[in-house]
Structure 1
Amino acid sequence: VVQSKGAFDETIRGIMNLKSVGAEVEIRVVVHKQTYEGLADLSDFIFRNLTFVDHVTFMGLEITGFTRANMDKLWMDPYDYRSELRAAVQYLAAARINVSVYNHQLCLLDGSIHQYAKRSISDWKNEYAEECGGCSLRNKCGGFFSSSSLAKSSHIAAFQ
């Protein structure tokens, strides 16, 4: 995704080096239009080659910086990748790899992975949509980045 020759191999060497000196390693995967189709393959790669990592996190896209300039190439409705995300999370969880989902709204996730969703957006940049007003799961939901006003799922719906 970074389009830099050798970046993947360099990253893997860095992860291996960190573990060799006893560091905790978390792999953070930002899910967007260019990455969602590869979540299953990436999860399988992590299971087969990086089982020693301490945590894998699948993260929703924060619309800041270069993301704003590349919205058409990156943003997609998280509802539309929910099955790929569910499969990746369940695969890693079944492999006993610590896995979480950050920066996602519960109403957009498959219910089977709600337990992996964390409230991870800092309070100062976390907001909720008008549709979230009467939601019974709002206190467990990740909410929205304040920068998310540029793009929002059409599937946001309060749990009753």
Structure 2
Amino acid sequence: MNLIEAQWEVARLDGFLYGAALMIGNTRRYSACAYLIEAKDGVGIEQALRDFYYWHPGCVFDGVERLERGMRDLETGMRPFIARQTSQTNDVDLSNLQAYLSFKAMDMISPILDGRTGLEVFRLNSVPEPAASDCVFFCIKADAAWVVLQFNDDLPYRRGLAEGRTPGGSLEQV
């Protein structure tokens, strides 16, 4: 698959994740997205994400976890983030929904990776900071690119905005 086709498939995955995050009924609490980042020689995923988010130079991660079972761990690891607890579901229904949605996401990831094996998969958590979204990143190294799935809990950010605070804890000047 060439880069343009991969971008097209990632855009489809992005729309799917965005829609799944909205499906829980709290449209401003959770969000999710998918995107590609160029993989430069000798640059790890932490630095690649910092370079991608150049407007947030203080971006810090709570370590990098390599998922030992790769794609299998990705499918189960994203479950709690792809669909969150809602008042309309019980625990069994939620678990079934999470399993189904993560399976569908993996089905969408498959053509992006185009049959590659031995892929490295990583999980990163953003370090919680006042007035910033809590983010979980799942990153797949695929030759010249990183496929990134990002899941956000935006409540801290929204509360910060309501209080006139910005990420990093500073008060905005009005």
Shorter-chain TM band? under 0.3
TM-score (norm 1): 0.24
TM-score (norm 2): 0.23
* Greater percentage in strand: 2
